[in-house]
Amino acid sequence: EAGRLAESMSYQIYAVGGFVRDILLRRENLDVDLVVEGDGIAFARALARKLGGRVRAHKKFRTAVIVYTPPGEGENGKPLEEQKVDVATARLEYYEYPAALPTVELSSIKMDLFRRDFTVNALAVQLNPNDFGRLVDFFGAQRDIKERVIRVLHSLSFVEDPTRILRAIRFEQRFHFRIGKQTTRLIKNAIQLKLIDRLSGARLFNELKLMLREKDFLLDLLRMEEFDVLKAIYPAFAITQREETLLREIEKVLNWYALLYEPTAPRQWLLGLMGLTERFSDEDARGVATRLAMPPKDRREFLYLRKQCMAVLEQLNTWKYEDGSRSGLYFILEPLALEGILFIMARTRDEDLRKHISLHLTKLTHEELEITGEDLIAMGLEPGPHFSQILRAVLAAKLDGHAPTLLAELG
């Protein structure tokens, strides 16, 4: 569809980047990146009309994003998930090498690919009908995918953009590739030159979040430690045995939770960051939030969750020895965000407590308070602030299995 449309507008069109890489790796990837030699935004508008989607355009970068829902139904008759197509414009231009090498003229798709992070991401497939499926590989991408190596396209790549250090590690671990020899040297150089210091907090935070969303993020963090990248981000960051154990538990808890197929997914990055900063002073925790220029909401939540978790761990200790009731546990965990509850599960070494918390997550949080204030009024009680206390007592009685007695008493 995109190929025919581009052809009718006399544009060359390519699918590029991670989408093509993942086809060769036979991995699913629903995010399509297109590059158009022509007016990318006009093309995106035309394609969106055909697909019945919306377009967000960035005139300055000549890029656009199309969001649309593919026709048809998924499993169990639900509509299919929304899909995103990124469209970029490639233009013929003169590329000044950062090191003042001679200026060269490149065809626009070649130019576009040359700006990318790694060879494995610098691969394009043409989509115009007459050349449909033609691979455009100027930089040895197919060879590197076959050999399973992450390689930059030129020696100043990390100077141009130090976030690529984190990206290299992320792709290496995700695909079980190896960062190439020369690229390894370039990373070490970049770290020594303190290039990470030049990165804005927002870009670092974004890249770190992407990393912490990976399935086996501990491997990424260990590799970061190996390259001394963690320290370069914030001096107090370190993966000692303690962090490694905790982060491994966090991964286990996340895997367990994923199997429950709950509708809300925990923010994995928040849990990862909690694990990384577990032994930090409050001052260092604030320092990390500042270095990463965390948006106020994330910052508040992160700092508050740390405090809350420490307090809850203490409360749970008391609960275990002095109370032990389901309702007691419910009211301790109730104010905690999901990430906090999962963190506590990972952090505690008390197997028994962990079982209680898992029960809380799987059963108790679905316990609905079936009576409402109106029911109480209907029972002839005077409305007032004590209502919330009564409702709480009813919920507690229900959790602890003696609701009928309590309701009879109230009645």
**Hey, which residues between 88 and 117 contact ligand ATP (CB under 6 A)?**
116-117
**Hey, which residues between 134 and 163 contact ligand ATP (CB under 6 A)?**
161, 163
Residue 64 CA to residue 138 CA, distance in Å, equals 25
Is 228 within 8 Å of 319 (Cβ atoms)? Answer: no
- Least Å distance, CB 208 to ligand ATP, is 13
Q: Which long-range contacts (CB under 8 A, 24 or more apart) does 61-70 make?
A: 61/88, 62/88, 62/89, 62/91, 63/87, 63/88, 63/89, 64/40
CA atoms within 13 A on the CB side of 31: 5
33 lies in the site for ligand ATP, by CB under 6 A:
yes
Of residues 164 and 398, the one with the C-beta less far from ligand ATP: 164
Query: Nearest 5°: phi and psi at 281?
Result: -70, 165
Of residues 171 and 343, the one with the C-beta less far from ligand ATP: 171
- Least Å distance, CB 116 to ligand ATP, is 4
Is 305 within 8 Å of 299 (Cβ atoms)? Answer: no
63 lies in the site for ligand ATP, by CB under 6 A:
no
Question: What track of x and - describes contact with ligand ATP for positions 162 through 201 (by CB under 6 A)?
Answer: -xx-------------------------------------
53 lies in the site for ligand ATP, by CB under 6 A:
no
Return the ∠ at Cα 369 (arms to 364 and 371), rounded to 5°: 160
Among 121, 183, 277, 327, binds ligand ATP (CB under 6 A): 121
18 lies in the site for ligand ATP, by CB under 6 A:
yes
327 lies in the site for ligand ATP, by CB under 6 A:
no
- Least Å distance, CB 161 to ligand ATP, is 5
- SS3 of 28, please? coil
Give me the helix-helix angle, 386-399 and 403-410, nearest 10°: 150
Of residues 141 and 329, the one with the C-beta less far from ligand ATP: 141
17 lies in the site for ligand ATP, by CB under 6 A:
yes
Of residues 29 and 348, the one with the C-beta less far from ligand ATP: 29
- Least Å distance, CB 106 to ligand ATP, is 16
- Least Å distance, CB 117 to ligand ATP, is 4
Residue 225 CA to residue 247 CA, distance in Å, equals 14
Task: Transcribe 41-108 into DSSP letters.
Answer: HHHHHHHHHHHT-EEEEETTTTEEEEEE--SSB-GGGPBPPPEEEEEEEE--EEEPPTT-PPPEEE-H
Write out the residues near ligand ATP by the rule CB under 6 A.
17-18, 29, 31, 33, 116-117, 121, 161, 163-164
